[in-house]
Amino acid sequence: MELPFADQRLIRQLFWNKTTENNVAKNLKISQQAVSKRKRKIICKLRRALRDIRATTLISGTLVWNAVSWSMEPLLCCDFWL
């Protein structure tokens, strides 16, 4: 899954550049509420993508991961940070 450029830019500004929602809104000439709503939608998309990847890995990866000497379980439960 790839996010559209506009969504990537919004997430980059909010989380990597630590820009406030108000400042992002001013830069984009939209309301702070619109920024917040877009952020929620993007995070929901990312959560769904992580769940899909985790489910696919759990279903199809069992044979592959059995050969790995270290535990994959912590990596498969990584959606706690979103």
- What is 17-43 written as a DSSP string? S---HHHHHHHHTS-HHHHHHHHHHHH
Give the pLDDT confidence score for residue 80 in this predicted structure.
47
Q: Is the pLDDT of residue 9 over 80?
A: yes
Q: 79 with 50: CB under 8 angstroms?
A: yes
Confidence band for 20, pLDDT divided at 50, 70 and 90: very high
Confidence band for 19, pLDDT divided at 50, 70 and 90: very high
Query: What is the token pair recorded at 10?
Result: 């919004």
Average pLDDT along the chain = 82
- How many domains does one find in the chain? 1
Confidence band for 61, pLDDT divided at 50, 70 and 90: low
Structural domain that includes position 21: 5-81
The whole-angstrom separation of Cα 56 and Cα 73 is: 14
